[in-house]
Amino acid sequence: MKRIFFVTITLLLLVSSWASASSLNGDFEGNPIISVKTNGQDLKVEDVPAIIYKDRTMVPIYLLKQLGLGVAWNSSNYSVNVTIPQQSANPTKEELVVNDHLLIENTYHILRDLDEAMWKFVNTFEYYEKVDNPSNYTQLLDEEYKNLMNQHIESVQLSLKIIQSVKSDNQIDNIMKSQAKALGSVTQLKNLLSIQISPQGNSQIAANLKISMLDCLQVLRKNIDNTKKIEHDLLLKEMEIFLQ
């Protein structure tokens, strides 16, 4: 005897298919027939169609074969084993591009964090001159600078690994060069501030510090703009890929 099994439409929804009912499809043993589609194409009915039975949408399980699923009948225990084929171990070219772009995008974000850290660090300098006994804060200044340098080293190490692992074109090296220039400006300014807040500080150093502060902020601003533009360009490229 031919055995026919039914599954609810929820199973088909899990595999991105959908069903629609219409009186124009006729009926099967008094139950309205519905058409089942996947990607806009009707699934081929071999014998028993999908129907509405007691207000429930019922779909023959054999239709799952057309969705690429494995359907195996076990006559010993009256059960059906439905298997979903595993994806290929070798990613497609499109998948590789998407994975590369994700790594590159995350690296850009980490490098942008360094941009912001340098900007915030320099913007605290003016407060060192305003406090009483600024020489007491030289240790704090050195600790903050050390933390900034550690963040820079970590971002460089990560960036170099990503550059070696991805195949897609990227601007990681461009950002790193811009940041190296900005960090050099920050280091010079920090050293000048260290002298100013020490007992050796004087009005001439204070004047030079203000000029150096403006120059450094301009360098940092250009560096931040450079990173943001590169991130923006990557975002546009990703949108073009997904819209194809």
Give me the DSSP letters along 167-205: -S---HHHHHHHHHHHHHHHHHHHHHHHHHTSTT--HHH
Q: What is the pLDDT of residues 40-76, one digit of tens each?
A: 788 888 888 888 887 778 888 888 787 778 888 888 8
For residue 139 the two structure tokens come to: 């240790």
Domains of the chain: which residue ranges?
A: 6-83, 93-243
3-state secondary structure (DSSP) of residue 101: helix
Q: What is the pLDDT of residues 187-211, one digit of tens each?
A: 999 999 999 988 888 889 889 999 9
Query: Which residue, among 71, 45, 63, has the nearest Cα to 8 in the 3D structure?
Result: 63
Q: What is the pLDDT of residues 2-32, one digit of tens each?
A: 444 444 333 443 333 444 444 567 888 888 8
Which of the following CATH numbers is that of domain 93-243: 1.10.3470, 1.20.120, 1.10.287, 3.30.70? 1.20.120
C-alpha to C-alpha distance for 220 and 183, rounded to whole angstroms: 8
Tokens 């000029």, located at residue: 211
CA atoms within 13 A on the CB side of 78: 5
b/e sequence 25-63, b meaning 16+ C-beta within 10 Å: eeebeeebbbbbebeeeebeeeebbbbbeeeebbbbbbb
